[in-house]
Amino acid sequence: MSEIQGLPPPDTAPEKAIPLPISTPPSNPIPSLNTLQSWLPLYLSKTDATISHLSRVLSTPSGTDTFLLTICYTSLLSSSLLSSLSLHRIRAAVQRIISQAIALPPNTTVIIDTSSLPPSRLLIASRRLKALSDLISDFRIFVRLWGLLSIYKWGKRVYNSPPADTLVRRIVYTQVASNIAFQYLENGAYLASKGVLGWGKEKQSRAWIWSSRFWMLHVGLDFVRLWREAGLRTSKGKSNPGSDEEIKWTAKWRREMVVNAAWAPLTLHWSLEEGFASDFWVGVLGSVAGLAGFRELWRTTGQI
């Protein structure tokens, strides 16, 4: 019992409860014209900064290639997803028509006029994205026609300043040789496919396959190189966890490992006559490699 006497008992009946004020969202969530006008300078500033940033990315051949690589494989991935979604919808529609036809009386003639049906928008978008991916891929191969010049420059730099470790040095020398073979065979196959060289279809096919095999050799050797460099860094006591240098080195090492892990199954796929990966997986793995490189490129070109 309460020690305070003479107070009336509390009234807990629902009808006696005092309603609490409930905040309601504004009836008009759309910003006013004055608000939009006040936001305009900020949006223009951000748009200008983004365009300037993208211009810096595309100002170098490597930046352009990384950007196009990303667009190429993300377009292929989007095309594959849209195609699958479109076919799923078509399959569902066909099953619905079949179930309705089965429910009709026996000996009923069913006529389906497909000539008047509009084409699937998803399928149209899928075909256009696939065409964009093919166009970019063709352009990137064309630009690589003079890639032997950059490989020569790379090989000259490695010869003049070779890696100190014997295994890493041999790996890099082998990679230079494999890239020369890759570039020569790809150039020949591409030019022959355009009618510039007189290679037959069979020789073109072999050149495409063997160029991919030399690329696969480069990727495989890169795994060994990364493993060796990590071991050397640990054994020589260069690792200093928490330092800026160690953080940057680790981030670079992991990025290269991710890129190689994405390219490895693709180079194996292109090294086989029949292949084994669908457009979906080619798009997924290529997008991983492209986005990893483009993300780093965007970061390093962030400052004017």
pLDDT mean values, one per 10 residues, the chain (304 residues): 45 51 57 72 81 87 92 96 79 66 66 60 91 97 95 95 95 97 97 96 96 97 96 77 83 95 97 93 96 90 64
3-class secondary-structure state, position 47: helix
Return the pLDDT at 5. Answer: 46
**Two tokens, residue 118:** 């509009």
The pLDDT of residue 197: 95
What is residue 66's predicted lDDT score, i.e. its pLDDT?
A: 93
Instruction: Return the closest-CA partner of residue 186 out of 199, 171, 173.
Output: 199
Instruction: Name 119's Cβ contacts closer than 8 Å, sequence gap at least 6.
Output: none
CA distance 297 to 52: 14
Cβ-count burial of 184 within 10 angstroms (0-12 exposed, 13-18 middle, 19+ buried)? middle
DSSP for the chain, written as a single string: --SS-SPPPP---GGGPPPPP-----S--SPPHHHHHHHHHHHHHHHHHHHHHHHHHTTSHHHHHHHHHHHHHHHHHHHHHHHHHHHHHHHHHHHHHHHHHHTSPTT-------TTSPPPHHHHHHHHHHHHHHHHHHHHHHHGGGHHHHHHHHHHHHHHS--SSHHHHHHHHHHHHHHHHHHHHHHHHHHHHTTSS---HHHHHHHHHHHHHHHHHHHHHHHHHHHHHHHHHHHTT---TTSHHHHHHHHHHHHHHHHHHHHHHHHHHHHSSS----HHHHHHHHHHHHHHHHHHHHHHT---
- pLDDT tens for each residue of 149-163: 999 999 999 999 999
